[in-house]
Chains A and B, each alone.
Chain A
Amino acid sequence: MTLRAYRWELRKLLSQKRTFLGLGAVVVIPLLFVTALVLNPPQGERTQFFFRYVTETGWAVPLILLVFSSIWFFPLVTALVAGDIVAAEDQNRTLKTILTRSTTRTSVFAAKVLAAFTYALVALLLFGLTSTVAGGLASGFDELPTFTTVISPGRAAVLVAASFAVYAMPVLAIAAIGVLLSTISKNSAGAVVGTLMVSLTMQLTRIIPGLDGDGVQRLMLTRQLNAWQSLFREPIDWSPIVHGAWVSVVYAAVALVIAWLHFVRRDVVA
């Protein structure tokens, strides 16, 4: 039953411009970055570690784009669909239409969560593939310097893929927060902006006295967006990744349980 609803959620997503706005952006941004890189190679000191090597090896391109996109770009892309997926039913007043068919509220909710997650993962995959291919075409697939050593192109490919997998965990947690805001606010624009604001606020806590300590920052979802960087140490430091996994799971679980309870208990009056 959930799979049927999930299939139809995907079909609805594929019929909406908003979906392609986000997916288009994850393809265009890496292409613009690489084009700028080719036309105007960066000069002088570069503070971001992987940025130093973008003209030497294409493997550095997806990694530096992961760093840059953590601030607002990927949270926004994720929020575009997650923040809309329940609220759009309220705005179109279609919730009553689907909830009077042979399905349960839990199945409809689960299908929406799965669809929002699917979209976020597809966006991340497209972002990774585009940035890797474009980076490779521009700078070649050569050896990649890491924080501790230099790795072969083969190992770089594995670690870049793993980086995107690790990055996906907090992205899915952000999607869950988007679904929560979408469910509670019943307003697409509010939920999309709200999700982005949650992410940006977490980023801002880094510069707020009292919240900038490591104890608090370790609990911020945005910190987990950079956990993948520990893959580029020899030996790999797994503790930030494991920590990022459970922090992401806690955020996602809390958001989804609250959203689910609200969804199954609410009165559909519109």
Chain B
Amino acid sequence: MSAVAVEARALRKEYGPRVAVDDVDLTVHRGDVYGYLGPNGAGKTTSLRMMLGLIHPTAGIVRLFGNDPVDDPIVALRGVAGFVEDPTFYPYLSGRTNLELLSGLDGGVDRARIDEVLEIVELASRAGDRVRGYSHGMRQRLGIAAALVRRPQLLLLDEPTTGLDPGGMRDMRELVRALAGEGITVLLSSHLMVEVEALCNRLAVIQRGQIRFEGGLEELLGRADGRYRLDTTDQGRALELCRAAAGLRDVSQENGEIRFAAERSAAAALTVDLGRAGVGIHALVPEGATLEELFFELTEETAE
């Protein structure tokens, strides 16, 4: 089986004149917990639907462990599970019967496995109730159970914490973390930066159907390295020196503090200049941007 769990190349979906997904390339390696981050309407769900074979790409390819989910869904979706938008079930059947039905479609009802996954998602005590009476959080957990019942190697989860209360969100994240810890590759679509930052090792940022960044979380956070915050005894003079100094970029003053970007050597040279000019340094602090700041930087720099 391919070492690449999900591969999309030039993946595109058009609805009439509207381009929902615009030549998306992404690669999810086996073992990744991969965040697919973007604002609402960015194209995350449409991408996931194409990955699951629910909609046909206008152009491009998508492969799950090397197999095409549109042309050969049975082979491609073997070992793959998940849900898009929210998990949906037959409301007039119980949670357990819904799982039996889905397990049956997979090739045979494995009642022991159904009991096991109901325990994992803490729904065993309500498994006999009709889904019609389930809360949103219970349906989300049943969605995870429906995915786990087929012992997946790849989980595709579309905003699994949407609509959950804080406790439910925490439980869902812990569950995803635990599943990833068992070696399951996870592709997690989300518009919540804190969620992606907490769970994922790699991510793609999508905006208006286009990928703005793909790579490791550390790589993205590292993009912000080289920014500094400066507080001195004479901010006016210090600002002049910063603007005159070689190697300093984006010099600005916000709320009394001077901010700039520079290589480490240029920042060190600045301290010498400040000392020679008789300007005392209260603080020269390297700044790391949060994922949220980087996300907005990536998604708003091209916004009209």
Which residues of A come within 8 Å of B, CB atoms? Answer: 4-5, 7-8, 11-12, 15-16, 92-94, 96-105, 265, 267-269
Contacts and interface: CB of A to CB of B under 8 A. Distances in A.
Contact of A268 (B54, B81, B105, B107): B54
Contact of A12 (B55, B90, B150): B90
Given A12-B93, A15-B92, A98 B55 contact: no
A102 B74 contact: yes
Interface string B82-95: 11100111111100
Interface in B134-161: 146, 150
Given A8-B101, A96-B83, A265-B56, 16 more contacts: A4-B107, A12-B93, A15-B90, A16-B92, A94-B88, A96-B52, A96-B84, A98-B102, A99-B54, A100-B52, A100-B73, A101-B105, A103-B74, A104-B73, A267-B49, A268-B55
B54 A100 contact: yes
Contact of B101 (A12, A92, A93): A12
A97 B90 CA distance: 10
Q: Classify the secondary structure of B's interface with A.
A: loop
Contacts of A15: 90, 92-93, 97
Contacts of B163: none
B48 to A, nearest CB: 10
Contacts, number: 82
A100 B73 CA distance: 8
Contacts of A98: 102, 105
A100 B78 contact: no
A148 B73 CA distance: 59
Nearest to B108: A4
B181 interface: no
A12 B100 CA distance: 12
- Among B88, B97, B105, chain A packs the most CB atoms within 10 A around the CB of B105
Nearest to A267: B55
A5 B54 contact: no
Contact of A101 (B56, B90, B106): B106
A92 B88 contact: yes
B82 A100 contact: yes
B72 to A, nearest CB: 9
A146 to B, nearest CB: 46
B118 interface: no
A237 B150 CA distance: 57
A96 B73 CA distance: 13
Nearest to B103: A101
Interface residues of B, number: 31
A11 B109 CA distance: 14
B278 interface: no
Contacts of B150: 101-102
Contacts of A92: 88-91
- Among B73, B90, B92, B97, chain A packs the most CB atoms within 10 A around the CB of B90
A100 B81 contact: yes
B104 interface: yes
Contact of A102 (B77, B93, B101): B77
A5 B55 contact: no
- A-B pairs, 6 with minimum CB distance: A267-B55, A101-B105, A268-B54, A93-B88, A102-B106, A100-B52
B73 to A, nearest CB: 6
A46 B92 CA distance: 47
19 contacts: A4-B107, A11-B101, A15-B90, A15-B97, A92-B90, A94-B90, A97-B83, A97-B87, A97-B102, A98-B105, A100-B83, A101-B102, A102-B77, A102-B106, A103-B73, A267-B49, A268-B49, A268-B54, A269-B49
A100 B53 contact: yes
A103 B108 CA distance: 12
Contacts of A99: 52-54, 73
Nearest to B107: A102
A263 to B, nearest CB: 13
B146 A97 contact: yes
Nearest to A7: B104
A100 B84 CA distance: 10
A267 B56 contact: yes
A241 B74 CA distance: 42
